[in-house]
Structure 1
Amino acid sequence: MGFVPQLRAGTDSEAMNPAARKVQRIYLTLTLGNTLAASFIWGINTLFLLDAGLSNLEAFAANAFFTAGMVLFEVPTGVVADGWGRRVSFLLGTATLAVSTLLYYLLWQLSAAFWAWAVVSVLLGLGFTFFSGAVEAWLVDALHFSGYDGALETVLGRGQMISGTAMLIGSVAGGAIAQATDLGVPFLLRVGVLLAMFGVALWLMHDVGFTPEHSARPLQATRAVLAASIENGLKNPPVRYVMLAAPFTAGVGIYVFYALQPFLLELFGDRGAYGIAGLAAAIVAGAEVLGGWLAPRFRRLVRKRTTVLILSGAVSAVILVALGFTREFWVALVLLAVWALVAEVGTPVGQAYLNDMIDSRQRATVLSFASLTGSSGGVVVQPLLGRAADVYGYSASLAVSGVIQLAAVPFLYASRRQRAAADEAHGR
């Protein structure tokens, strides 16, 4: 398999030429707009589903159908990104997500049956799969083409900081707007911003450093790219073990993020305080900003990237167990902030680790395949933990989620033992 040329040592200011700066600006603009649009509902999504008449089991089952949609469509949309272009994939994602979000709003208005929520949740998953892998692949190839000579963690960390800032603004605004109006208005705001981002991407985003390979036979292309992604992914031991860890970390992460909304309202003592639910997402967003800033700095303190990943996975799991035994609202907020920060420090490092082991021709598809493995965990974990919340309460479900996440650590250690060059790489 081919590898991305390794970043050599050097400061980011020396490496970031004008062309690379332009690529970075476009990437950060797309990240800002998309995350802002998405995050309007992140602080109140579970409350929105419960308000529509769904039980905890049904609400998290709806989320599971969302992740099932991601599992189902990750590879086909990866083929779109690698075969038709990352720009085309991004545009399709904004359009699909805008339409499916509007349908979600209509289901809430109609107090629709669960099956309708399941169908539209799958469409939401489809929308997000057009983004997963495509934007990151576009960035890495465009930076390589522009002659960028710095660390991937630096740019990816900045992207995470911008994403966290947008999430902070969007989640707080979404919670405040929901409390001032109703739970449906943030969904309409998301639709409006997504339509605006369609225009921005149409204007700014162009595939550079990558030539799409169009195919007149999409099913044959899907099989070929899937085979290549398996060859470069599951059959590549250090990548395979990271993928096998993903169902535990990603599956738990999705559940915890949405379960924190009703959990904090329960501790706070006012189930109508939607601003508090937005606060949970805002804390995660702030941790994302700080984690993106800390990631490249923490990375320089250790020799291997997997050290960061193992510590991040283990410590955040322990914090979740502690959070499950917490009965004080303010203590829960502190533990939430620490959990999110520890988890977010590992995100850019993990992204850089995978990207340095993937060939450019299958980058979007392999990254999408990696996302697929994480989403598959969410399909199973969310309804199980949602049912645990129905029977034993949110606290118990959070403690159980921490135990489940610990199962990822042995796989990350197995990846470390493969001694991949990317594990010690500091530059391209």
Structure 2
Amino acid sequence: MNPAARKIQGVYLVLTLGNTLAASFIWGINTLFLLDAGLSNLEAFAANAFFTAGMVLFEVPTGVVADSWGRRASFLLGTVTLAGSTFLYYLLWQYSAPFWWWAAVSVLLGLGFTFFSGAVEAWLVDALQFSGYDGTLETVLGRGQMVSGIAMLAGSVAGGVIAQATNLGVPFLLRVGVLLAMFVVAFLLMHDVGFTPERSARPLAATRAVLKASVDGGLRHPPVRYIMLAAPFTQGVGIYVFYALQPYLLQLFGDPRAYAVAGLAAAIVAGADVVGGWMAPRVRKLVHRRTTVLIASNVASALILVALLFTTTFWLALVLLMLWGMVGSAGVPVRQAYLNDMIPSKQRATVLSFDSLMGSSGGVVVQPLLGRAADLYGYPASLAVSGAVQLLAAPFILMSRRRRSPADTATDLTAAP
């Protein structure tokens, strides 16, 4: 890796570290926070569904912002929006607000995250190409996932411990503070290189042009389209399982106020991300096609979720959940690399945001339904149903594979459009 590419990678890893650390302070206790505010399981997961609905509503518009005004501008807007909406969440908890207030602010949280999705990854890929990087995308994206996992491990454990030592609201205030610090870091270090924003005196016309080109490069491109159609099943289930782990593990542990154990749920996923990020480029070298990794990851992680239905021991559940996280995480950088190698640079952020939209749309439907299943039949049954839902993604990955895109067998970044 040449010095210019190494510098780009360094900035990417710093941004990933700070953002994930900020976000993860609440990941281990978010469901408990909502339940403590007086919401039922249905209402808590419905609030999460409104969060994903916000992502669905704003993914493409904020992706267009990133492609039209710059990936740096999108990132800076995201830090401010997410910090403000997180502080509102804290106020709702303080005053035991009714459900519809939670729904409204959850939509704003979704808006904050959409400014990040697509923008950072698009910034990285274009900047690496500009710097002359000739390695594999899986390598850099895998390192990013490892850094993200480390940050998530630290943040989620710290959030759980701090909540137990103080109260459930303090981790939310910590998130606000770190996000504001990340605004300063991004302002100083993140600059758009290898990409020129499509600013125009006619912003609506420019937005329509970017959006049309993005649809052409996304949904109208069959191998990309099928991978996107798989996203509602995989990401929708992933969001539910992540938040359901908190009360599920507390039930098995036998202490409903052991918030540090709830933080352990997020820590498991974080540790799995580190291992999965390390595994991704190595697993990729063992197979000829990227879709082989994606199909194997999908099927194996789904079967592990079904196995949780028959698990009644806390420590066995921890082992299974760790395996679930590692298997799923190993496929994430491969999927990112596969998509990026099929997307034109000019519309990269918008197409990636549209892909995130597809995943979020699954969360809107899946979370409340599985939350209701948890109310009626318990968390183990809802996790088993999650595994069955996730398997529905496999046929779409197979259809993408059958299109035999060059990106399926690409081994370096130069194959990207």
Q: What TM-score, normalized to structure 1?
A: 0.96
Q: Which residue, 75, 87, 93 being the options, matches 2:60?
A: 75
In structure 1, distance between residues paired with 2:135 and 2:72: 24
Q: Is structure 2 residue 167 aligned with structure 1 residue 182?
A: yes
In structure 1, distance between residues paired with 2:179 and 2:74: 14
Report the secondary structure of 1:182's partner residue.
coil
Cα offset, 1:319, TM superposition: 0.4
Q: Which residue, 52, 63, 88 being the options, matches 2:73?
A: 88
Q: Is structure 2 residue 249 aligned with structure 1 residue 248?
A: no
Distance 1:216 1:387, change over 3 A: farther
Cα offset, 1:324, TM superposition: 2.4
Mapped contact 1:325–1:399 kept (Cα < 8 A): no
Aligned CA RMSD, in angstroms, stands at: 0.7
In structure 2, distance between residues paired with 1:217 and 1:62: 37
Paired residue for 1:284?
269
Q: Is structure 2 residue 375 aligned with structure 1 residue 390?
A: yes
Q: Which residue, 153, 157, 167 being the options, matches 1:172?
A: 157
Paired residue for 2:243?
258
In structure 2, distance between residues paired with 1:55 and 1:408: 30
Give unmatched runs, 5+ long, in structure 1.
Answer: 1-15
Paired residue for 1:406?
391
Cα offset, 1:152, TM superposition: 0.5
In structure 2, distance between residues paired with 1:216 and 1:394: 53
Mapped contact 1:47–1:261 kept (Cα < 8 A): yes
Mapped contact 1:78–1:368 kept (Cα < 8 A): yes
- Deviation track 1:192-238 (CA, whole Å, cap 9, x = no partner) reads 00000000000000000000011334333333222211111111010
Paired residue for 2:209?
224
In structure 2, distance between residues paired with 1:392 and 1:356: 43
Mapped contact 2:52–2:110 kept (Cα < 8 A): yes
In structure 1, distance between residues paired with 2:255 and 2:37: 19
Report the secondary structure of 2:286's partner residue.
coil
Paired residue for 2:43?
58
In structure 1, distance between residues paired with 2:320 and 2:334: 23
Q: Which residue, 162, 176, 185 being the options, matches 1:200?
A: 185
In structure 1, distance between residues paired with 2:198 and 2:351: 16
Paired residue for 1:11?
none
Mapped contact 2:23–2:175 kept (Cα < 8 A): yes
Mapped contact 2:68–2:207 kept (Cα < 8 A): no
The letter of the residue matching 1:398 is L
Count of residues in correspondence between the two structures: 413
Paired residue for 2:9?
24
In structure 1, distance between residues paired with 2:19 and 2:350: 21
Q: Is structure 2 residue 330 aligned with structure 1 residue 360?
A: no
In structure 2, distance between residues paired with 1:236 and 1:26: 32
Cα offset, 1:262, TM superposition: 0.2
Paired residue for 1:129?
114
Mapped contact 1:69–1:121 kept (Cα < 8 A): yes
Q: Which residue, 82, 86, 93 being the options, matches 1:108?
A: 93
The letter of the residue matching 1:318 is L
Q: What TM-score, normalized to structure 2?
A: 0.98
In structure 2, distance between residues paired with 1:254 and 1:373: 13
Q: Is structure 2 residue 1 aligned with structure 1 residue 43?
A: no
Mapped contact 1:158–1:292 kept (Cα < 8 A): yes
Mapped contact 1:87–1:201 kept (Cα < 8 A): yes
Cα offset, 1:359, TM superposition: 0.2
- Deviation track 1:259-311 (CA, whole Å, cap 9, x = no partner) reads 00000000110000000000010011001001000100000000000000000
Paired residue for 1:336?
321
In structure 2, distance between residues paired with 1:215 and 1:120: 32
In structure 2, distance between residues paired with 1:233 and 1:142: 21
In structure 1, distance between residues paired with 2:395 and 2:310: 25
Mapped contact 1:75–1:222 kept (Cα < 8 A): no
Q: Which residue, 210, 234, 243 being the options, matches 2:195?
A: 210
In structure 2, distance between residues paired with 1:217 and 1:262: 50
In structure 1, distance between residues paired with 2:360 and 2:314: 30
Identity %: 80
Paired residue for 2:224?
239
Q: Which residue, 364, 378, 381 being the options, matches 2:366?
A: 381
The letter of the residue matching 1:213 is E
Q: Is structure 2 residue 407 aligned with structure 1 residue 427?
A: no
Q: Is structure 2 residue 114 aligned with structure 1 residue 97?
A: no
The letter of the residue matching 2:172 is F
Cα offset, 1:121, TM superposition: 0.3
Mapped contact 1:98–1:190 kept (Cα < 8 A): yes
Q: Which residue, 277, 290, 300 being the options, matches 2:285?
A: 300
- Deviation track 1:371-392 (CA, whole Å, cap 9, x = no partner) reads 0000000000000001111111
In structure 1, distance between residues paired with 2:60 and 2:320: 36
Q: Which residue, 136, 142, 147 being the options, matches 1:151?
A: 136
In structure 1, distance between residues paired with 2:378 and 2:216: 43
In structure 2, distance between residues paired with 1:99 and 1:291: 32
Paired residue for 1:191?
176
In structure 2, distance between residues paired with 1:112 and 1:215: 43
Mapped contact 1:249–1:405 kept (Cα < 8 A): yes
